[in-house]
Structure 1
Amino acid sequence: MDVAWEDFGWERLGNGIGRRRLPGWDATAALVAGEDGALLYDTGATLREGVELRRQAEALLGRRVTHIALSHPHFDHVLGTAAFAGAQVYGAVGVAALLRGGAESLCASAVRHGVPEGEAA
């Protein structure tokens, strides 16, 4: 089945390259397909949003996301990362430690900004 990027709200920028504005906050996800893998730039504000991005990426590319690049450690850019089990995650110095040990502060920030408490995990 052929799926158009626009069917999922993505803007196709080139062959295997697209971007999508994420709902709620000033955040954009980007997807780049390479010969040996696929990279997603930012994963959204919630696990549910990450799952939806993963589902869309797999439908668009016909394969799973293998790499994640996180722009910066704010909840609206990183809390969807858990939806991408097995993907290599890249970010600025300190992002890995924050995701491992600072998830509580990220979730608290998400709730302060309006994410329902049950979704901020």
Structure 2
Amino acid sequence: PMDFKIGLFQCIAMIPGVSRSGATIVGAMLMGADKRSATEFSFYLAIPTMAGAFAKDLLDNYKNLSKDDTGLIVIGFIVAFISAFIVVRTVLDYVSSHGFRLFAWWRIIVGSLGFAGLIIFG
């Protein structure tokens, strides 16, 4: 039941500009999870979404691929997996000891720059 409720928070990310991970982390923390567990759960929730996106992209483009591309896809998968593992571990360690303040400021700064860019160049 708690997993389902946190998943509902993920649905909030369908609103443009709302972070999927941010929504699930906030949802988990509102239900009593600690920072590390909430962040970890958010990363786990992303796995089916990313796997689905990969499968859809592969199905949409398989006619354009040759057997020679298989090696590149495998290498890309392995490199992405290793780098994601390192980044997730680093983020979990950081969040456990420092919290989300840096990420909050990052979202505000990047969002403001994006908004300013729309005003200036839009």
| Same-fold call, TM cutoff 0.5 | no
Structure 2 length normalisation: TM-score? 0.26
Larger proportion of helix: 2
Structure 1 length normalisation: TM-score? 0.26
Larger proportion of strand: 1
